[in-house]
Amino acid sequence: MNAAKQRSVRPVAAGRGLRLSRFQTPGGLSVSVAPRGRIPLVAVRLVLSSGAAADPLGKEGLADFTMRLLRRGTAHRDAHALDEAIEFVGASLGLFAGEDQLAVALTTPAEHLPAMLHVLAELVRVPSFPEEEVRTERERSLGQFANDVDDPSLLADRALIRTAWARHPYGHDVSGTRASVSRVTRDDTVRFHADHFGPRPASLFVVGAVDPDVVAAQVEEAFGAWAGGPDHGVDVPPPERVGHAGKVVVVDRPDQTQSQVRLAGPAYRRGAPVQFAAQVVNVTLGAGFTSRLVREVRVKRGLSYGVGSSFDTLRAGGLFSVSSFTKVETTGQLLSVMRQEVDRMRERGPTQAEVEKAQRYLAGLFPLRTETNESLAAVLADMALYGLGDDWLDRYRDRVRAVTRAEAREAAARYCFPEPPLTVVVGPAERLRPQLERFGPVEVLSADDVL
């Protein structure tokens, strides 16, 4: 009762007709409530400012492993009882880890929100990590790694992360490796939970047909006793070097008739002001169906059915990459065309017509990112996690439309491989090496090196 009296619910205008109500629990959990619509469904997202970047050396994948175990038992309920409680009311719940975050996403009928908030609090506050469930999850994970050997696209992505980020905390896949996961114990999960879970590095977002004052009371009932844990989230250091310019890595798959191809170089951190100009460049180069890469690689030359570019940006930095696939015999030709198009973008930037076309595309696509309560909760969580500002939703399209051709050219010059890119190819190394040596020194890895 005293906590309720002290509670201060603060309204915040977030743009696009959205008003957030914010408050903190006594333990320090930051809560944002966004009333929206009349359909009696509510999306809830709890995010902790930690993630795979906090995995201990040699125990890569521990954050992801720990998150998947949260639903397998608590101090009060076993896995079956948890599943029954969630499914009985028609709710759904997902748990996942990213490089910078740990997240629990819940969707529930509004009438069952109080009960589901208690389930959510139980999962993050008092997981039990049963030894049998740890063994089962470890076996499941190792089985998945065995299946991943047959996925050349996944091997390429993993090799890219491993090589581009190297020893940085981002330098491993979120799920870890076979070797690291095989070493994970119950004690590791208990310790990771104790070190990274707590109200102060956490944020809770509630979106849907709700009354903020009512939700505030419900949240305090469920989370008011949550205390302790770390004072803040994980500090990820800036990378010393990203991309390893000019290096060529081949993951040897002797029986493949196609090659998976990746090019990559350093990019900006999430939330950097340059992102709007960079996205205009990206849409023009490879993120749209009418992009330059699609035109040159697919339409004109028929080298591949799919090619694209992207910025993968995180709290401490990012990667700009170009990806495609082709027949083994045309791998060198594909790489040449991809690099030529990126070089042309870097040297000249997009035309004024391309800038305007990309702006229309980005501005028109943006509303779809917040179309559902679940997607809006995810965007609100990203806004808080990456410090994007309360005006992010309201000003996004204006900021995109404000990008000038000069700014787009500057972004292209900065991120479209001013140094020779890192090249990653998955395919038969013996047949690929003669095609790849002109792009840089070739290092050959096995699938075991990547997984």
Q: Domain boundary residue among 208, 223, 238?
A: 223
Same domain (yes/no): 156, 280: no
Q: Domain boundary residue among 223, 256, 284?
A: 223
What angle in degrees, to the nearest 10, is found between the helix axes of 331-348 and 405-415? 140
Q: In whole angstroms, what is the distance from residue 225 CA to residue 230 CA?
A: 16
Write out the two tokens for 385.
Answer: 């996690």
Same domain (yes/no): 366, 259: yes
- Please report the pLDDT score of residue 48 as a whole number: 97
- Please report the pLDDT score of residue 9 as a whole number: 67
What angle in degrees, to the nearest 10, is found between the helix axes of 405-415 and 352-365? 90
152 located within any domain: yes
Q: In whole angstroms, what is the distance from residue 80 CA to residue 62 CA?
A: 23
- Please report the pLDDT score of residue 37 as a whole number: 85
Q: How far is C-alpha 437 from the geometric centre of its chain's CA atoms? A: 33
The domain total for the chain is 2
231 located within any domain: no
- Please report the pLDDT score of residue 108 as a whole number: 97
240 located within any domain: no
Residues whose CB is less than 8 angstroms from the CB of residue 215 and which lie 6 or more positions away in sequence, other chains included: 31, 33, 113, 206
Residue 109 β-bridge partners: 41
382 located within any domain: no
Cβ atoms within 10 Å, residue 192: 23
- pTM of the complete model: 0.92
For residue 118, give the 3-state DSSP assignment. Answer: helix
- Please report the pLDDT score of residue 243 as a whole number: 64
230 located within any domain: no
Same domain (yes/no): 128, 32: yes
229 located within any domain: no
Which run of H or E residues covers position 61?
A: none
CATH number, domain with residue 204: 3.30.830.10
3-state SS of the chain: helix, strand, coil percent to 5? 50, 20, 30
Instruction: Using alpha carbons, select from 340, 335, 348, 328 the residue that is nearest to residue 410.
Output: 348
Q: In whole angstroms, what is the distance from residue 103 CA to residue 97 CA?
A: 6
Q: In whole angstroms, what is the distance from residue 223 CA to residue 114 CA?
A: 11
Same domain (yes/no): 258, 126: no
- Please report the pLDDT score of residue 245 as a whole number: 78
Give percent above pLDDT 90 in the chain.
Answer: 90
For residue 252, give the 3-state DSSP assignment. Answer: strand
Instruction: Using alpha carbons, select from 374, 417, 145 the residue that is nearest to residue 264.
Output: 417
Widest CA span in the chain: 74
Same domain (yes/no): 217, 266: no
Same domain (yes/no): 194, 301: no
Same domain (yes/no): 185, 307: no
The DSSP code for 294 is I
B/e letters for 275-310, b = 16+ CB within 10 Å, e = fewer, are bbbbbbbbbbbbbbeebbbbebbbeeeebbeebbbb
> 359-388 pLDDT, tens per residue?
999 999 998 888 999 999 999 999 999 999
Q: In whole angstroms, what is the distance from residue 276 CA to residue 399 CA?
A: 7
What angle in degrees, to the nearest 10, is found between the helix axes of 186-196 and 62-69? 90
Q: In whole angstroms, what is the distance from residue 54 CA to residue 67 CA?
A: 13
Residues with pLDDT less than 50, the chain:
1-6
Same domain (yes/no): 416, 311: yes
Q: Are 174 and 52 in contact (CB under 8 A)?
A: yes
- Please report the pLDDT score of residue 12 as a whole number: 64
Q: In whole angstroms, what is the distance from residue 348 CA to residue 100 CA?
A: 34
Domain that holds residue 41: 2-223
Q: Are 24 and 140 in contact (CB under 8 A)?
A: no
Same domain (yes/no): 50, 176: yes
Same domain (yes/no): 169, 283: no
97 located within any domain: yes
Same domain (yes/no): 207, 262: no
Strand order of the β-sheet with 248-252 is: 307-313, 318-327, 258-267, 422-427, 248-252, 442-445
Q: Domain boundary residue among 188, 223, 258?
A: 223
- Please report the pLDDT score of residue 136 as a whole number: 96
Same domain (yes/no): 332, 413: yes
DSSP string, 41-58: EEEEEEEES--GGGPPTT
- Please report the pLDDT score of residue 16 as a whole number: 58
430 located within any domain: yes
